[in-house]
Amino acid sequence: MTDLRAQLQAGLGGSYTLERELGRGGMATVFLAQDVKHDRPVALKVLHPELAMSLGPERFLREIKLAARLQHPHILTVLDSGDTGGRLWFTMPFVEGESLRDRLRRERQLPVEDAVRIAREAAQALQYAHEHGVVHRDIKPENLLLTRDGNTLVADFGIARGLQAGGGSDEKLTDTGLVVGTPAYMSPEQASGDRALDARSDVYSLGSVLYEMLAGEAPFTAPTMQAMIVKRLTEPPPSVRAVRPTVPEAVDHAIRKALAPLAADRFGTMAQFGQALLGSASVQTGAATVPTPTGPPVPSGPATPSAASAATRPVAPAEPRRSRVSPVAIALTAGLLIGGGLLFAWRHSGAGGEPPSGRRVVAVLPFDNLGDSSDAYFADGVSDEVRTKLGQVAGLEVIARNSSLSFRHTTKQPSEIARDLGADYLLTGTVRWEKSGGTSRVRVTPELVDARPGQAGHSRWGQQFDASLTDVFQVQADIATKVADALGVALADSARRGLTAKPTENLAAYDEYLKGEAASQGMAAGDPPSMRRALVYYQRAVELDSTFAKAWARLSHTNIRLYGNGTPDPVLAKQALLEAERARRLNPIEPIVYRSLGAYYAGVPPVDFARARTEYEHGLQLAPGSAELLNAVAVTEMAIGQWDSAAVRLEHAALVDPRSQEIAITLSDVRRSLRQYPAADAAADRALALAPTNVRAVSRKALAAIGRGDLASARAAVRAGAQRIDPAELYSYVATFFDLYWVLDDDQQRQVLALPVSAFDGDRGNWATDRSEIYHLRGDRAHAVIYADSARLAYIEQIRGAPDDPQRHAFLGLALAMLGRAAEAEREGQRGNQLAAGDATYLPYTQHQLMRIYLLTGQPEKALDLLEGLLKVPYDLSPGWLRIDPTFDPVRSNPRFKRLIEGSAALPQ
């Protein structure tokens, strides 16, 4: 942060003097600064590089102009903005006071008079904005500021979007898909991705905020965003009088009308909503009546004519006609991937009080091992088990394991860790495992740290547990129970029983299981050696205790990952299914059981994505906050073409696992498939920042550049990766996955040609195919044919074991095409397409391979037929890709191909 402050100060020159950092959120860092020219304090906000990259300087300035136009007593205005060395910033008045969220944390429920006054003042500000063509889209307690003199200010118009379509400053800013929204307050139409939002969406959000001010909780709560959306659409708006009878009937009626699931049933304007809140004399007491703003009202229909025409205008001829990720999901996956949303700064008037609506976010950091270094895995096991148990407690949100592990041995302060993870509380601890005289004892000393914003981190609870090793499970349960009690979470009897459940009675089996968990850390990066090491320990665990359900589930999942990351082995796949089914019989309420079952049905041909999704959803019902399950469901939904839902799942997963490289990689895949390359690139950068040596993250960085048609940047990404990763590992991966052998430069290609089969995890088919393709690219026809035949033999053998694997048939078709056996090649390529039917991720890939087969066998028109279709669906190929991929050299002069490239301006780049 010191570097950022120094760089920013240097760029600002003498215009502003930065004094101190006020706060940081998912989109920006805010400083207290002195406006030198006007001798006044201001809040200066600088956007994070990821958001700045997505917006770009021109769009940023256009959107800031929208905010700067809004001059109203209840709107926090924009004073100045600029671009300093690529750092996008703007300033606002520095407000003495607090946010509505701060006050709700202290009081939970506000006096009726105060709540209605705040809502009416916000309504006046929003009515004014709507009259000027701006819908806020992110009304929530954090964006309503309460000044010391009793006024309400609406903040965060900085990236609101104009309603009107057309030119100039009112142009509808739809290209980036940036929309701000917070799930708990979104209107149903916003949550479902409707672009044609109007004033009634803000009416819904403000109604939700008013309900929370009066009831102490949001009107609709659920363990997942999807469940929350379903509630909004299927359940009638709740009556606040049911939980607080002193609320006047007129106010209750106004809130329920504002929360109507259909926009047509709500107030048409904010002015109407504000007027309805004056229906009871009791709510006028102590609050001055302010005339309703005059001016042309925002129509109560779906949208203004210009907005409607913008939302329904035909897609450009060359743009894919496909289901796009909803604007809500696009904005949230860009911002929530790196944390919550502090957009404006103001002084917090004090600390204390619990988070509103029962929300308590806890991060269980790795417990420090105080014993022998070889026992570190045991300390991790204790913290993992406590984390799992806390995740079962209703009322707590628990940050995922991977994100918490990243802070092992950190020197950061608790407030910094909590901010980075989006947590309110940190559970830390030490573990000492003492083995002497034939007995083992364990001493665990946990501490719960209150690290909420605005407070100096302080201990909320701490205790030392000293017990024999046989009582370690009781110690873990006691810690979870004490944490819940310290946070004021009431535990039902069934919940307490669940916390005391033991995964196994056999301590030796548990020890082997923990070693497997430690060895499996490389599995997220798709590392087969890590999988095999973990497999040995899980197998030992079930040999020692054949009733150990979690160990059976982990064993199954590891075997499935090995099946998908190596040579397909039908025996291995069958074994994995039997292991998962056994785990379910042993413990049908264990969430990871369903993760293993879902992975089997999604990963072993013939795949059954509907069944996989059902299994994953069952697991999510048991563990709604599981980032692993959320990510798995998202991948499955991508496969069935439900990109909107997949993006929302990933946004939720990023909240509970903000430092997950896997989620960042999947987000990059979603964005790239939708040809949203700046966002895909930003997600790849996030993955690389979290895991610089992850070959998959490097490939995503290269793929985003390829989609833009930037071969130089793609090669630069690979070269940079080779500075951190074993070149043999990186180059073999790049050459094999996504068929990017042509991206490698001459020296890198030579290194691939020198690699043994072992560098390809023993897959002779992949090894031979890469050699054949590289020799063909280099004009060595003789060697290309030799290795194509080796690939043919390898794939025939693999298909015997996995006859329904679509990729193997496609790869066999490629080898046959290289050998000039056109009819056989086409037949195998078409077979791959048939087997991939119904998979929205694999089918385009097998169609891509069939297209390559047609190009190799001299059938350009068939190839172009497939290519035109692939440019219309979510997939990697783009006009930019076509420009640089030598695969397409045989059709470069073809008029149809030229038209595809010439039409590239109409496609997202």
The residue among 420, 425, 422, 473 whose CA lies nearest residue 447 is 425
The string over 585-604, giving b where at least 16 C-beta atoms fall within 10 Å of a residue's C-beta and e elsewhere, is ebbeebbbbbbbbbbbbbbb
- The answer to whether 702 touches 740, Cβ cutoff 8 Å, is yes
In angstroms, the Cα distances linking 1 to 23, 33, 247, 267 are 11, 15, 47, 45
493 token code pair: 């009897």
- The answer to whether 74 touches 129, Cβ cutoff 8 Å, is no
Q: How many CB atoms lie within 10 A of CB 313?
A: 9
- The answer to whether 738 touches 711, Cβ cutoff 8 Å, is no
C-alpha 842/C-alpha 832 separation (Å) is: 10
The residue among 76, 91, 110 whose CA lies nearest residue 8 is 91
Q: How many CB atoms lie within 10 A of CB 93?
A: 17
The residue among 563, 537, 561 whose CA lies nearest residue 550 is 537
C-alpha 839/C-alpha 612 separation (Å) is: 13
C-alpha 246/C-alpha 655 separation (Å) is: 36
Which residues does 360 contact at the CB level (< 8 Å), separation at least 6? 354, 395, 396, 397, 424, 425, 487, 489
Bridge partners of residue 363, in order along the sequence: 426
Q: Are strands 425-436 and 368-369 parallel, antiparallel or unpaired?
A: parallel
The residue among 221, 215, 180 whose CA lies nearest residue 201 is 180
C-alpha 414/C-alpha 404 separation (Å) is: 12
The residue among 122, 125, 336 whose CA lies nearest residue 213 is 122
End-to-end Cα spacing for the chain: 32
104-109, Cβ contacts within 8 angstroms, sequence gap of 24 or more? 104/141, 104/212, 104/213, 104/216, 104/356, 105/352, 105/353, 105/354, 105/355, 105/356, 106/350, 106/352, 106/353, 107/353, 108/216, 108/353, 108/354, 108/356, 109/213, 109/214, 109/215, 109/216, 109/244
138, 384, 424, 478: the active-site residue: 138
C-alpha 279/C-alpha 563 separation (Å) is: 66
380 is catalytic: no
The residue among 753, 709, 761 whose CA lies nearest residue 731 is 753
User: Considering Cα of 90, then 96, then 100, then 104, what sign does the dihedral take?
Assistant: positive
Bridge partners of residue 443, in order along the sequence: 432, 466
C-alpha 85/C-alpha 32 separation (Å) is: 20
CA angle 226, 229, 235 (to 5 degrees): 130
The residue among 25, 21, 1, 22 whose CA lies nearest residue 422 is 25
C-alpha 559/C-alpha 143 separation (Å) is: 48
430 token code pair: 């030490």
- The answer to whether 690 touches 344, Cβ cutoff 8 Å, is no
Residue 148 dihedral angles phi and psi, to the nearest 5° = -65, -25
Query: Peptide bond preceding 606: is omega within 30 degrees of 0, i.e. cis?
Result: yes
- The answer to whether 432 touches 442, Cβ cutoff 8 Å, is yes
Helices (H) and strands (E) in the chain, counts: 39, 17
Residues assigned a catalytic role: 138
